Amino acid sequence: MILLTGGRGAVAIQLLALLHADGHAVRVGSGRPAELPLPAGVSAVACDLKDPNTFPAALAGVTSVFLYAEAASINEFVAAATEAGVEHIVLLSSSSVLGPAANPIAKAHLDAELGLADAPMTVSVLRPGAFAGNARSWAWAIKADRPINLPYPNAYTDPIHEIDVAAAAYALLTTPEQRGEQHTLTGPETLTFTEQIDLVAEITGRTIVVDKVTPEAWKQQMADYMPAAYADGLLDYWRLSDGIPTEITDTVATLTGRPPRTFASWLEENAAEFTS
C-alpha cells in the first residue's frame, strides 16, 4: 500500500491518477480528507503533517509514502512510519535547498530533508525547480487587463510541469532499482519571466503588459497574500537568477523515460484559467 500525503496538492492529485491507472494500491492522506476528489476504490484518511496523532492510522499497512516537505512533526512521522514497517519514502523537496541555506524557503525544505537523514527506510528526495503552475499568480491581472508587476522581469526559472514531478515520483515509487538519492528536476528549458509572459500572451491571445516595480513595492503588494519571510525568500532567488539562466538537468527523462513537458504545453492545457 502506498500512502500519498497532501492529497489536495497538485502533484499528489497527478500522482494518484498515475498510480490508480496502473492498479497500484493507494491510500490518500490529507489534512482535509473530506475534500479529496477520489476515484472509486481509493480510500481517504486524515493525515495532517503537523498533527502526529493522525500518523498511526494513516500509515497502517503502508510500505511506501509520498511525503510533502512539512518539517513540523517530521521526527514523529519517521517514528510512526518505522513502527508501521514503511520501507521507502519519496520526499517532495525543492531545488531551493541547493541555494543559500538561510533563505526561508530553502530552510523549510532542508529541515524536512534533515528530518529524514537518519531514517531507517530508503529515502528518495525530489528537488524540483519552479512549477509551471506558478504562472497562475499572473492570471488575475491578465483577466482584469491590469499590468503584471514584477521586481525582476529578467530573472530565469525552469518551469516544470506538475505532471513531470508526479511522473518522477511515480518512477521512484514503482521501480525498486531507482529508489534513493536526491534528484534535481527541471523543466526542459530556462526562460525569463518576460519570456514566460510572452508565451502566455501568444497562447491566450491576450495583450499583457509587464511593469517593473521595486522589490519593496512588490513585497508590499503581496503582503495580504504571503508571509513577509516567504516574499523575501522569493525576492532573494529572483535577484540571484536575474539574467542568469537556470542549469537544466536531464533527471525527468532519466527517471521517467520521456523528456519533460514544455511550459507552452502547460499553458495550452490551462489557457482557460487566464481568459475566463
Ligand X SMILES: NC(=O)c1ccc[n+]([C@@H]2O[C@H](COP(=O)([O-])OP(=O)(O)OC[C@H]3O[C@@H](n4cnc5c(N)ncnc54)[C@H](OP(=O)(O)O)[C@@H]3O)[C@@H](O)[C@H]2O)c1
Of 31, 52, 99, 215, which one interacts with ligand X (CB under 6 A)?
31
Taking alpha carbons only, the member of 164, 177, 166 closest to residue 253 is 164
Handedness of CA 93, 98, 104, 105 (dihedral sign): negative
**Shortest distance, CB of residue 66 to ligand X, whole angstroms?**
10
Query: What is the rounded radius of gyration, in angstroms, for the C-alpha atoms of the chain?
Result: 19
Separation between Cα atoms, residue 267 and residue 276, nearest integer Å? 14
Kindly indicate which of the ranges 30-38, 227-235, 236-244, 266-274 contains the residues binding ligand X, using the contact rule CB under 6 A.
Answer: 30-38
Those residues whose C-beta lies under 8 Å from the C-beta of residue 4, and which sit 6 or more positions away, are 12, 15, 16, 19, 26, 27, 28, 29, 65, 66
**Shortest distance, CB of residue 104 to ligand X, whole angstroms?**
12
**Shortest distance, CB of residue 145 to ligand X, whole angstroms?**
26
Which cell is 228 given?
A: 513577509
- Provide the 3-class DSSP secondary structure of residue 244: coil
**Chain residues 161-190 in contact with ligand X, contact rule CB under 6 A:** 162
Task: Give the residue with the Cβ less far from ligand X, 209 or 229.
Answer: 229
Residue with cell 528526495: 125
User: Do 245 and 156 contact (CB within 8 A), yes or no?
Assistant: yes
Asked if 32 is part of the footprint of ligand X (rule: CB under 6 A), the reply reads yes
Task: Give the residue with the Cβ less far from ligand X, 177 or 183.
Answer: 183
Q: Is 154 exposed, middle or buried (0-12, 13-18, 19+ CB in 10 A)?
A: middle
Of 94, 124, 149, 256, which one interacts with ligand X (CB under 6 A)?
94
Kindly indicate which of the ranges 26-34, 139-147, 219-227, 247-255 contains the residues binding ligand X, using the contact rule CB under 6 A.
Answer: 26-34
**Shortest distance, CB of residue 132 to ligand X, whole angstroms?**
9
Task: Give the residue with the Cβ less far from ligand X, 92 or 252.
Answer: 92
Asked if 6 is part of the footprint of ligand X (rule: CB under 6 A), the reply reads yes
Asked if 134 is part of the footprint of ligand X (rule: CB under 6 A), the reply reads yes
**Shortest distance, CB of residue 69 to ligand X, whole angstroms?**
4
Asked if 107 is part of the footprint of ligand X (rule: CB under 6 A), the reply reads no
**Shortest distance, CB of residue 98 to ligand X, whole angstroms?**
11
Number of Cβ atoms within 10 Å of the Cβ of 257: 9
Give the contact letters, 112-131, x = binds to ligand X (CB under 6 A), - = no. ----------------x-xx
DSSP, res 275: T
Of 68, 156, 266, 274, which one interacts with ligand X (CB under 6 A)?
68
CA atoms within 13 A on the CB side of 203: 19
Query: Residue 32 carries which side chain, given as an amino acid letter?
Result: R
Which cell is 260 given?
A: 519533460
Chain positions contacting ligand X, by CB under 6 A? 6-12, 30-32, 68-69, 92, 94, 128, 130-131, 134, 162
